[in-house]
Structures are given as structure tokens and as C-alpha cells.
Chain A
């Protein structure tokens, strides 16, 4: 199905079943948070896992998506689907600008440039009026889907988030398994060779950067509607760090890894929240352990042991 291998198909339906059953057992807002961040991590993974581009500034796209969705829903009364779409578009637009600058340098410089540009965006967000400065944009209404269905109840919102998440997840899978995706992997493995085969590798990198940024913007937009708030935390650097952690822990370059990674990191944050800065310490330890002991991540290791592709 859609280029899924057999184990991937099984895992996909398992995930869909889990999404459908879970709200009966777990708090829906928590699950929606997991899905928003899972989508964010999948978007990030599209870059690092399939093209080998390590962006350290993805919070910019996520956070701007959150701000734009929140602002258009609150100030202009846009319906949620249009507001989220606007978040995605602005995320993608910002991605076009960042990507266009960052692909001029490679490897480690790419990471530093994306980090610096995101920090610039953060400082601008502290100064712009529409972001509400330190307060952020609060009390964002969830509104009515298509102007018809109220999303006030958590379960209605849950259904929307679940549909968008699964749709974007399938889109990412489709991108990876398209001819376009094959060129991306070729660039990851050997860029000069891809160039010599006649591909304009910079164009491909820029395109996938924009796609990744747009999906991150959608994820941020959803998050701001779920919680009714968009703040500086969403655009600040620690957010970029968290999404890297999710992808690394779950498995960079696997389809399901970032989802699992996001679920674990969000759960960890929930349970460790009372312990203050220990969250940071734990995240640091997970980083170190992942890099030293299992670079393929949880799903990557599982896939390698079982010789599956997940």
C-alpha cells in the first residue's frame, strides 16, 4: 500500500488503531500534544533522515506556524482549517528564506546557520507586536471546522488533529518513496555523484527544506489551537533541541521512529515536570547515550535486528 512494505503496513494500521483507541484510556489533550510533536519530529526527520541535512533551527517554523495560526484564528476569526493552513504556508515561506541561505554551506555550517537564523527569528518575535511579546497569544479560540462543527470538545479537536496527523504522515511517506525521494537519498549518500548524474542537488535540498518547514508549521499551528496559546517557547532554541532528540531517540531515517521518539520525550516531560531542571539533565543524558550507544534509535535498532524496514 502506497509504497509501504508489509511490516510498515502492519505498523501503520497499528498506529491508526492506537490513535483510535487511545483517547478512551489516556487524556486526549496529552495525546494531541504527542501527535503535534510527532508530526513536528517527522517533518524534521524528513530533512535529517532522508537528505542528511541537520537543521538546528526547526523551532522557527514550528513557532511561526503556531503564531500565525493563533493570530489569524483569534484576531481575524479564521476557521481552524484555514488558520492551520496559513501556519503551514508561513512556515514553508520562512523555510524558503532560511533554506535558500543555509544550503550555501554544508555539513556543520548548515547546522550553525539554521541555528543562528532561528535565533534571529526568536529575537524578532520578542519585538514584533502581533506575537504579544512575553505574554504570547493567549485564549486562541478553536473555532468551528469549515465554519460548521464546533471544536470546543476535546474529542472533536482530537479527531481533527488525528486526521491531519495521519494525512501529513502519509504525505511524508509518499515524498520519501517518490522518485523525488530517491534523489534525496542519493544526495544523502553521495552528493557529488548525484550532481554528476545531472541533478541540481541544491534545488532538491531547498524543495525538501520548504516541505519540512511547512509541515513543521502545520504541527505548530495545530498545537496552538489545541492549547489555545502560542508563546516565545515555541520559537526558542530548546524547542529545536527537543525535536532533534525525538528524531534521534526514535531513529533518524525511519518512518515510525520520530513518532515513537516524540511519544517518549513528551511522556518523559510530563512525569519529570515536577523535578524542574532534571528534565534538561535527563534529555542531555538521553542525547549522550543515543549518540554513543545506539545511533540508529529505538525503531532503527529494532528494524536492524529484525532486518525490517520501519
Chain B
């Protein structure tokens, strides 16, 4: 068996792949948070709950309507995104003139409501969601065995990140969005409907979280708490990367997933805390974050 640094190669690459899979989720989630923060100036604490809702929507589509994984991958983000639009119109839009803190408190309250409701109706033990038949099985790559579904998650997340990046950096909608992030009143004076853009931005960020949730459904069991612990790690990722840059969020997300995977190989006890330790180091060395701008 091939050994690398005294570790069997299949173990090392297996954990590395797991790390990249986690990193894919961190990237998708922190990307959504960054887009929402840029436009709405609100840190969306409900992001974890909406990620969970994405997974539950996929489960519900399958069990109540017989709609399978591939359609769920499209429909769940749309449904949850529409729900996000509703949340923005009903609640979040009332807070734009207030301190950031209230946005965090409100979305935290929304997360509690969503998680509590789901727990009431579905319990907290978790529901199984099968890997779609096309993606079952695994590939032997020689140095490791790669489960097809994990490979697909990484691929899908990268494609989604690239699409998001292209939309924001290369299209006219993205240009307007970036302009409105810099100076909303000025953009509005050009006749662009900024409030609508804000609402849709929230919907899009939420849809990204739901997309991640559907991807996660077959890997983790679908349960009401799947987002709650996740969101705290994602916050640490956001502190490390800074919310100013789209590309920064993606790179930081994947990078930290890999760091976490490697820690699981070399120092398993530290795998739960390593991201927080990295956060501490970054705060000491570069308080504004790796890609952040000091304000």
C-alpha cells in the first residue's frame, strides 16, 4: 500500500475528499452570506435554517409528490428562494435603516422558528434520503476509491460557484448589483429598481443555501439541526475570508474544508476546532480577514 508521511494513501485522500466536500458546502454557504451582506447589509443568521429547509424540501418533494433528486435540485432552491423573498418582504425589509445587530437578531429568531417547527413535525432523529441511482457506486482511481456522489457534490458546487461569480462579475445585472452595493441611492436615481434588486438578491442567496441543502441531503441525514451547527462554522469561515469578495469566499470555503480534512488525518481530536483555531490565527495576523478590506 502506498504511504504518504506515514499515512496510508487511501485514508489520506479519502479524508481529503471529505474535506473538499465540506469545503464545497462552506463555499456555497459563505458565498450566499457574502452576497446578502453586500446588498442588504444584513448577516443572515437564518442561512443555516434555510439550508436545512432545502434538504427537507427535497425530502418532501420525493415523499409527498414522488419528485426525485434531479428535479428537486432545481425546484427546492426555487421554492425556498421564493420563501426567502417572502421573508425579506415581510420582515427583513423593515430593518434596513437600523443597526446591523437587529438584522442578526431578527434572522436568528426566524431560524429558531423554522428549526422549531420542523422539529415539531418531523422529530430530531433525521430522515434518510437516498443517493440517486445514477450516482451510486464508486470509482477506483488507483490511489483511492471515490464514491460517485461525493465527486458529484464537489463538481456541482464548483459549477454553481463559477456561475454565481460569472453572473456577478460579467453580466449587466451583476454590474448593477455591484454598483448598488457601493451606492444604492445613486443607482436608484438612474431608474433602476433597487428595492426589487435587494429582494431578489436575498432570494438568490437563500436559493444558494437551499441548493447546498439538497446536495447535502443524501450525505448527512436530513434533520432539523443540520443547519444550526453548520452556520456557526460558516460564520468562522466568513470571518477568516472577509465578506468583501466573491472569489475570496469560494477560495476560503474550499481551503478550510481541505484544512479540516487534513486535520482529521493527522490530529483527529482537533478536527472540530481547527477552523476556529485558523480564525484566531487570522485575527491575530490579519484582523481584516484574508480577503477583507479594512474599514
Contact = CB atoms under 8 A, between A and B. Distances in A.
Interface of A: 48, 54, 56, 101, 104-109, 111-113, 115-117, 119-120, 123-124, 126-127, 237, 241, 244, 248, 276-288, 290-292, 295
A280 B105 contact: no
A4 to B, nearest CB: 28
Contacts, number: 124
B162 interface: no
Contacts of B80: none
Contacts of B111: 284
B276 A285 contact: no
B280 interface: yes
B171 interface: no
Contacts of A56: 104
Contacts of A241: 108, 112
Contacts of B124: 277
B232 A237 contact: yes
A116 B239 contact: yes
Nearest to B33: A112
Contact of B115 (A124, A280, A290, A292): A280
Interface string B259-280: 0000000000100110011011
Interface stretch (B50-58, B63-71, B93-101): B93-101
Interface in B14-31: none
- Main SS of the interface on chain B? helix
B276 A278 contact: no
16 contacts: A48-B101, A105-B287, A105-B288, A116-B233, A116-B276, A117-B276, A119-B232, A123-B276, A276-B119, A277-B116, A279-B116, A280-B119, A281-B117, A284-B114, A286-B109, A292-B95
A112 B104 CA distance: 10
A281 B112 contact: yes
A290 B109 CA distance: 10
B112 A287 contact: yes
Interface in B68-84: none
B287 A104 contact: yes
B238 A112 contact: yes
B91 interface: yes
A281 B284 CA distance: 38
Interface in B147-170: none
Given A284-B109, A287-B109, A292-B91, A108 B273 contact: no
Nearest to B276: A120
A56 B235 CA distance: 12
A285 B113 contact: yes
A280 to B, nearest CB: 3
Nearest to B286: A104
Contacts of A123: 272-273, 276
B220 interface: no
B291 to A, nearest CB: 13
B235 A112 contact: yes
A277 B120 contact: yes
B239 A111 contact: no
Given A284-B109, A291-B95, A111 B104 contact: yes
A47 B109 CA distance: 21
Nearest to A113: B239
Contacts of B283: 101, 104-105, 113
Contacts of A288: 91, 106, 109-110, 113
B277 A120 contact: yes
B91 A119 contact: no
Contacts of B143: none
A5 B233 CA distance: 44
Contacts of A244: 105, 108
Residue from A279, A285, A292 with most neighbouring chain B CB atoms (10 Å): A292
Given A105-B239, A119-B276, A280 B112 contact: yes
Contacts of A282: 116
Contacts of A292: 91, 94-95, 106
B236 interface: yes
A116 B235 contact: yes
B108 A287 contact: yes
Given A112-B236, A116-B239, A120-B273, A280 B109 contact: no
Nearest to A236: B229
Nearest to A127: B269
B43 interface: yes
Residue of A115, A127, A277, A283 with most chain B CB atoms under a 10 A cut-off? A277
A56 B95 CA distance: 20
Contact of A295 (B102, B233, B280): B102
B236 A107 contact: no
Nearest to A285: B113
Nearest to A237: B232
B157 to A, nearest CB: 22
B75 to A, nearest CB: 26
